[in-house]
Amino acid sequence: MERSRHAPGSMGTASQDHLQELRRKIAAVGADGRARELAPEEKTARIPLGHAEADRALGGGPARGALHAVLPAAYGDEPAACGFAALAAMRLAGDRPIVWVRQDMAVREFGEIHAPGLAGLGLDPSRLTLVAAADARDVLRAGEEALRCAALGAVIVEPWGDPKALDLTALRRLVLAAEGSGVPALLLRSGGRGGPDAAATRWSVAAAPSRAEAGLGLGPPAFLATLERNRQIGGTGEPGSWMLEWNHERRRFEPATHSGARLPDAGDRPAEAEGAVVRLRA
Amino acid sequence: MRAGGASALAAVDEAAAALGLHPGMTLATARAIRPDLAVHEADPTADRALLSALADRAERWTPLVGLDGDDALLLDITGAAHLFGGERNVIEDAVSRFGRLGFSVRAAVAGTAAAARAVAECGGGGIVPPGGEAEAVAGLPIAALRLDAATQGGLLHLGLRTVADLALRPRAPLVARFGRAPLERLDLLRGLARAPISPRRAPPACIAERRFAEPIGRQEDVRRTILVLAADLARILERRGEGARALELVFFRADGAMRSVAVETGRPLREPSGVLRLFAERLDALADPVDPGFGFDVIRLCALAVEAFSEIAVRLDRGPDFEAELSALIDRLAARFGSRRVLRPAARDTHLPERAAPFLPAQHGNAALAADWTIFAPEADAAPPRPIRLMDPPERIEVLAEVPDGPPIRFRLRRVLHAVVRAEGPERIAPEWWRAPEGTPTRDYFRVEDADGRRFWLFRDGLYGRETDRPHWYLHGVFA
């Protein structure tokens, strides 16, 4: 076999980057060619949502191997909660597959998950596997089974309403599965109002109006996301409430700019400059 | 049985046959012979179901079991008889097992199915030695050929009473008079031609089985057996360079009852622990669990469908193979919840939103992987063109529009009134004329946002003025 004639130093930056990329990928492969299980520190890693202030409140972002609950703020906010959960799952999943377990009842109430709509948010549907569960018990069981599969990037668990099966024990089982594998669990509480809580973070999500300058057309998806419970920082993190807008190009959440003046780069904006959050509804 | 207006006997048991009763005899005649005759209405459907249930039980000797007529089972025991210590034992086992269920059966083993049936039916059963078919059937009556009544009558009229009588006759005149059927049947009976039995179910690609002198029933014994069978099967599959895409586990209880469970896989599988895990999920999820009763004496694992097996190549340039583990997870979920509940999105080349992206069973190919989803990306600083959830069917709503063909200004959905603040549209989607019935209206879609920022995908069904004067409105989806 011929040895490489290139001295390491003679490599161009492009091939250096390529090498870096290869190293990263090889590191992710286990001895058997399968996805390597995450190291303990990777399992608890914080993945930023992109919104600087929200990420700061979470100590860097939602933790990977943890349960994150997403509730609609009111009846009619299910689509917003659904979108927020899907986008958060996508942020957390990296380039790994996503499993979405949903209860049949959720489909009857507000429709089946629509792959072209996910694609429109930047989530590649070919990464998605859907489990259609007949009842809440099956949702939890399938969710737990999926969470144990370390190759996944995220699992969205979507029961309907406030089922009895969704008790503290069931939630703890999800938490344990997520912590064990390092796979993030997003508990999307479509049609749900409350109930027991074992999640690391709990979000209440409402729809938010499109940006003003978008004229009469609809702007990018916007959310009013309230972090109601935050156990990520030493058990008692600060709650908070932010206007988020999804940036499709950069695949991240950014502060929504409803003042009318679009900022040059939302990511560079100092967090303090964001005004008080105002609920825009009656 | 009712024939020609008079009730007649369809079948008789041994005692009745001893009295001279026979099928086809009118009920009046039979009653004259034996006034206290026990008569039951014939029920061919029930008979068929019963025979089918017996065929299930007969699968303990071979997976290749066919039904023959209304009253016979054909078993292909080629290569299986030695498992039972010879053909004699198979026959004795069959007669005694069915006897215990209250059936009197006659059984025969022969080189062709037709010969075995003839010997069992007309010759008292037994074993025909290899090549001895012609001799074994020679003395049987012409009825053993199972020809239609007219042909049989014609042959009897010629004085041909036995199979041998027919075999000795020159063939050409027989063909001229009766057609090919009698001689074809004759060749089958004499072992000169073969007609394969048509098994009730497609024969498995390969099987592994274990028989137990002491029936087993404990869960851990059953699990261990499944693992051993899976290892046997893996060796066969490995030799053939194949993996299983569909597997069936068949339990035979010592009392004869049979139960089978099947699982599917998304990729060719042969790893024994993977097979065990799938069946463990499946067995655990059964609403009606497999009951060992007094124990299973045969457990068989069949690969129903196989496919070329390729070792998963590690593509370092693509990073780890998430798909392999995802595929195993999909198989486990499908084993528990059914393959129709574990899905992946597919993209169809159609404008109709409800048909554009169906979810299809994940185990049956990955349609999503080939699809081009980028066409659904939004323009810069705009909302995605398609909703995140799609109503099926679309939900009827009341709409107030400024002009009949304009966007909505207000609409009522589930008793809540929404004021439209922003609207985009229309996006016109015409029915596919080759699929939709004549007169299916064109839809005008609008993306609207209400005062709270909630976004909806609405459409007006029908072009105002051209297709309809009072168009209906529907909610077809919701945006994030």
Q: Quick check: A280 pLDDT over 80? A: no
pLDDT at A272: 38
Q: Do B381 and A78 touch (CB under 8 A)?
A: no
Q: Quick check: B14 pLDDT over 80? A: no
Q: Are strands A154-158 and A128-133 parallel, antiparallel or unpaired?
A: unpaired
Nearest to A125 among B316, B368, B380 (CB): B368
Name the residue in chain B with its Cα closest to that of A72.
B480
**Helix B181-189 with B149-157: angle, nearest 10 deg:** 80
B294 and B244 in a single domain? The answer is yes
Nearest to B389 among A35, A99, A113 (CB): A113
In a domain, B140, yes or no: yes
In a domain, B131, yes or no: yes
A233 touches chain B (CB under 8 A): no
Over pLDDT 90: what percentage of chain B? 36
B129 and B262 in a single domain? The answer is no
B293 and B232 in a single domain? The answer is yes
B61 and B178 in a single domain? The answer is yes
pLDDT at B3: 41
In a domain, B395, yes or no: yes
Backbone angles phi, psi at B248, to 5 degrees: -135, 135
pLDDT at A5: 45
For the segment A115-128, the average pLDDT, to the nearest whole number, is 92
CA A151/CA B205 separation, integer angstroms: 32
B155 and B247 in a single domain? The answer is no
Which of chain A's residues have a Cβ under 8 Å away from the Cβ of B362?
129
Among A197-201, B198-202, B319-323, B450-454, where is mean pLDDT lowest?
B319-323
pLDDT at A14: 66
What is the pLDDT confidence band of residue B41, given thresholds at 50, 70 and 90? confident
pLDDT at B382: 84
A122 touches chain B (CB under 8 A): yes
For the segment B27-47, the average pLDDT, to the nearest whole number, is 84
pLDDT at B309: 82
CA B278/CA A194 separation, integer angstroms: 35
Which of chain A's residues have a Cβ under 8 Å away from the Cβ of B388?
79, 82-83, 86, 113-114, 117-118, 120-121
Check residues B124 and B52 and name the one with the higher pLDDT.
B52
B29 and B85 in a single domain? The answer is no
Among A24-33, A96-105, A158-167, B392-401, where is mean pLDDT lowest?
A24-33
Structure tokens at B135: 């001799």
Which of chain B's residues have a Cβ under 8 Å away from the Cβ of A216?
422-424
In the block, tokens 């071979």 appear at B62
CA A94/CA A35 separation, integer angstroms: 13
* Phi-psi domain of B202 (left: phi exceeds 0; alpha: psi -120 through 50; beta: other): beta
Nearest to B320 among A35, A79, A208 (CB): A35
Nearest to B322 among A142, A151, A218 (CB): A151
Q: Do B329 and A125 touch (CB under 8 A)?
A: no
A155 touches chain B (CB under 8 A): no
CA A154/CA A86 separation, integer angstroms: 10
B393 and B448 in a single domain? The answer is yes
Last residue of a domain, one of B287, B308, B329: B308
pLDDT digits (tens, 9 = 90+) for B207-216: 999 999 899 9
The number of distinct structural domains making up chain B is 4
Q: Quick check: B453 pLDDT over 50? A: yes
Q: Quick check: B468 pLDDT over 80? A: no
Q: Do A25 and B317 touch (CB under 8 A)?
A: yes
In a domain, B247, yes or no: yes
Best of B314, B316, B372, B479 to mutate (most A CBs within 10 Å, chain A): B479
pLDDT at A224: 96
Q: Do A219 and B381 touch (CB under 8 A)?
A: yes
Q: Which of A131-135, A249-253, B431-435 has the highest mean pLDDT?
A: A131-135
Terminal Cα-to-Cα distance of chain A (whole angstroms): 74
A120 touches chain B (CB under 8 A): yes
Q: Do A110 and B389 touch (CB under 8 A)?
A: yes
A280 touches chain B (CB under 8 A): yes
Q: How far is A239 from chain B (nearest CA, A)?
A: 23
B56 and B25 in a single domain? The answer is no
Q: Quick check: A36 pLDDT over 90? A: no
Q: How far is B429 from chain A (nearest CA, A)?
A: 16
pLDDT digits (tens, 9 = 90+) for B347-401: 888 888 988 899 999 988 655 556 788 888 888 788 899 999 999 899 999 998 8
pLDDT digits (tens, 9 = 90+) for A12-28: 566 777 777 777 666 66
In the block, tokens 């059937």 appear at B137
Q: Do B344 and A128 touch (CB under 8 A)?
A: yes
Among A127-136, B12-21, B146-155, B295-304, where is mean pLDDT lowest?
B12-21
pLDDT digits (tens, 9 = 90+) for B120-140: 988 888 899 888 888 888 889
Name the residue in chain B with its Cα closest to that of A224.
B453
What is the pLDDT confidence band of residue A4, given thresholds at 50, 70 and 90? very low
Check residues B203 and B449 and name the one with the higher pLDDT.
B449
What is each CA distance from B476 to A70, A78, B427, in whole angstroms?
A: 24, 15, 13
Q: How far is A211 from chain B (nearest CA, A)?
A: 9
Q: Do A218 and B479 touch (CB under 8 A)?
A: yes
For the segment B288-293, the average pLDDT, to the nearest whole number, is 90
Which of chain B's residues have a Cβ under 8 Å away from the Cβ of A102?
none
Q: Do A34 and B326 touch (CB under 8 A)?
A: no
In a domain, B75, yes or no: yes
pLDDT at B366: 58
Last residue of a domain, one of B161, B189, B217: B189
B55 and B180 in a single domain? The answer is yes
A29 touches chain B (CB under 8 A): yes
Structure tokens at A147: 């969470």
What is the pLDDT confidence band of residue B340, given thresholds at 50, 70 and 90? very high
Q: Do B389 and A117 touch (CB under 8 A)?
A: yes
B396 and B290 in a single domain? The answer is no
Query: Taking all residues of chain A, what is their mean pLDDT, rounded to a whole number?
Result: 83
Which of chain B's residues have a Cβ under 8 Å away from the Cβ of A132?
337, 340-343, 359
Over pLDDT 70: what percentage of chain B? 95
CA B87 to chain centre: 30
Q: Do A76 and B454 touch (CB under 8 A)?
A: yes
Residue type, A5: R
pLDDT at A260: 38
In a domain, B461, yes or no: yes
What is each CA distance from B323 to A8, A22, A49, B304, B314, in whole angstroms?
A: 34, 19, 26, 24, 12
CATH number for the domain harbouring residue B215 = 3.30.1490.100
Q: Quick check: A7 pLDDT over 70? A: no
Residue type, B94: A
Q: How far is B282 from chain A (nearest CA, A)?
A: 13
pLDDT digits (tens, 9 = 90+) for A191-214: 998 888 899 999 999 999 988 665
Structure tokens at B48: 């068929």
pLDDT digits (tens, 9 = 90+) for B88-101: 888 898 999 998 88
Name the residue in chain A with its Cα closest to that of B387.
A117
Which domains are assigned to chain A? 60-207 (3.40.50.300)
Among A270-279, B103-112, B246-255, where is mean pLDDT lowest?
A270-279
CA B36/CA B33 separation, integer angstroms: 9
B214 and B182 in a single domain? The answer is no
B183 and B221 in a single domain? The answer is no
Nearest to B386 among A80, A116, A249 (CB): A116
In a domain, B360, yes or no: no
CA A245/CA A222 separation, integer angstroms: 4
CA B265/CA B279 separation, integer angstroms: 11
Q: How far is A241 from chain B (nearest CA, A)?
A: 17
Expressed as residue numbers, the domain containing B11 is: 2-33
For the segment A227-245, the average pLDDT, to the nearest whole number, is 84
- Nearest C-alpha neighbor of B446 from the set B410, B393, B416: B410
pLDDT at B311: 63
A66 touches chain B (CB under 8 A): no
What is the pLDDT confidence band of residue A263, given thresholds at 50, 70 and 90? very low
Best of B339, B355, B389 to mutate (most A CBs within 10 Å, chain A): B389
Q: Quick check: B332 pLDDT over 70? A: yes
CB neighbour burial string for A237-254, b if at least 16 within 10 angstroms, e if fewer? beebbbbbbbbbeeebbb
In a domain, B254, yes or no: yes
Which of chain A's residues have a Cβ under 8 Å away from the Cβ of B380?
248-249
pLDDT digits (tens, 9 = 90+) for B159-173: 888 888 888 888 888
- CB-based contacts of B153, cutoff 8 Å, min separation 6: none
Prediction ipTM score: 0.82
Terminal Cα-to-Cα distance of chain B (whole angstroms): 68
Query: Taking all residues of chain B, what is their mean pLDDT, rounded to a whole number?
Result: 87
Nearest to B314 among A29, A151, A219 (CB): A29
